[in-house]
Structure 1
Amino acid sequence: MTRTVVFDRTGTPDVLQLADEPLTDPGPGEVRVCIEAAGINRLDSMMRSGAFPRPFRLPHARIGCEGTGVVDAVGAEVDSVSVGDAVIITAVPDMDVRGTYADHTVVPAERVVPRPDGLDPVAAAALWVSYSTAYGALVEKAGMRPGDTVLITAASSSVGLAAIQIANQLGAIPLAVTRHTDKKAALLAAGAAHVIVSDEEAIPDAARAHTGGVGVDIIIDSVMGPGLAELATAARPGGTLLTVGWLDPRPASMPQNAPLTIYRYMSFEHVLDPAVVRRIAAFLGAGLRSGALQPTVAKVFPLDQVVAAHEELERGGQIGKIVLTTAGHDGR
């Protein structure tokens, strides 16, 4: 038997429950991963609460779209991965069936990549979704270049912090946006060239002030909502707006300033593409080796405290990723 977090109905964090499940063997082309740690993402809370953007099975849905661990079984026709390999799971589009909040999960072999040497399980669990999202949006989609000025909303989130580090790794200039003055020092320490506190100053005005009146080259936004149109005016003519999240559930306003390239970015566009996954893994590996990329962990909970972990996410205010660990794998 193996422990698995499941839920039978959508709602508040207390719908999540830990159940003992039969241990499933991998089929052809699949591997079974003994999970050491799993990152908690907003997409998870959307599924749990009923705000998920597509249908999923109930009752007895699993949950969790990223994780890391050690391969403990391989199915037929698998020659790219071996038992004992430490891996990161790159994509779980069917997390209601293969969710990573568990001691074990079975995934297609092409959905895992080697865990970088020296990266402990907790840090690895905080790496893939955040950094692949920021990399995919900024590099693959927007073509970010050295010298570009990048405006990053919700900058203290795991995606925001990843975007700051990736911008610095490529020689771009990250401008971080936060609502809270008390996060300013942490964001500067994380590598932001400047921090805009949105409760104290208008974001477009501050962005133009820091770009000589021109506007930023790229905006990466995790908030959306009614303020999106005003936020877009922080971009220079011909700039790019990337929306990568929806922290504000209200309808988004449509930007009217032109010319402006707008992308609604979903990471599955790239993490299901083996060629892009190879580029992401190579980029992240290089950044980790150089020290340019350092996953930020806000708090760690054991698997049996998953309800408390989701409650922590719902409260907000954390800087970085909340991580779940299985028994004996605190990573520290």
Structure 2
Amino acid sequence: MAEKQNKEQSLIDAQIRELDESDQEFESLWQMWQTVFPDWPIERQRLEKMIHQMPGNHLIHEHGFCLSFLQNGVLGMISAVGVLPDHRRKGLGTALVHRAHEVLKKAAKDSGEQELQSLEVGSWAPRFWPQMPINMSQEVKDFFSHCGFKRSPDLGPRDLFKDIRNDDVVPADVLEKVAKTNIIYRPWSPELYEECLEKQRANFNWWKGYEILAQYGQHAQALVAIDPDTNAQVGWTFMCSPDAIISDMYAFLPLSPTKEKTGSISAVGIDPNFRGKGVGLGLVARAMENMKERGIEGIMVDSTWLRGFYEKLGFKAQWEYERWAWEDAKQ
């Protein structure tokens, strides 16, 4: 019996291969995704863009797949593992995760002779789920537990949503507070590029997104807060419409209540010297108004740990997440 199981496992391992960029391969991947994750459908074009735009380490089998990314050179992210229903509990899912682990360890070393520090469920760029959705089935959680992952007891991030089709886009009390601040808010533009990138690199890890917007001439998909006394930039946020290049990086924006007319606010950053002065609240409020003017009907706030801040603006939790990690990923 054991010999038979070993042969079957060896055959599964031999049939796992790296995902190539052929149309046939992507069609197979997309069809399996729709079957495995019926509650989280993705348009094929969006899935293809997400995989092409960011280098990843993806595996495919006739009956399953594993999408993974190496981030910051040392963090392995298992973005999605899928096995067709009739082929579960036969070792394929476990084999895909173990192979992805080995591929990510090699990628970490190749990126600069570093060791993989941890292996987590989720992904940041591109974004499928930032961590494990708390409403994912117990079967899925049991699978990752079996693979050696552990759930963190700490609060995880949430995706928030607000429908802005009504007239009261921003609550009146918030607008009153924003009006009292001595800050100018204006869409990002090419002449603001150098200062913006310098400060983004110094303070935040999402500066690459500003480079991408600039490359596509989409500066106006971000908002900047300016101190009128010094004319210095002191705050920034993405305020992306559905057709922004950055929106292509989010798998599930169209699953929001406003579907294809959903935009996103993310990467809200405030200069350390201006925190606690209402700049962040003003930045998000003005971004919401700008997005309403552009015809956006709903706004997703992407993956935030903050509790209470966005609720002041009328946002409510749409999806919640919890961290699952394999801390001994070096082994």
Q: Give the number of the structure whose residues are more often helix, by fraction.
A: 2
Q: Which has the higher contact order (CA 8 A, sep 6+)?
A: 2
**CA radius of gyration, larger in:** 2
Q: Do they fold alike, i.e. is TM over 0.5? A: no
How high is the TM-score relative to the length of structure 2?
0.26
How high is the TM-score relative to the length of structure 1?
0.26
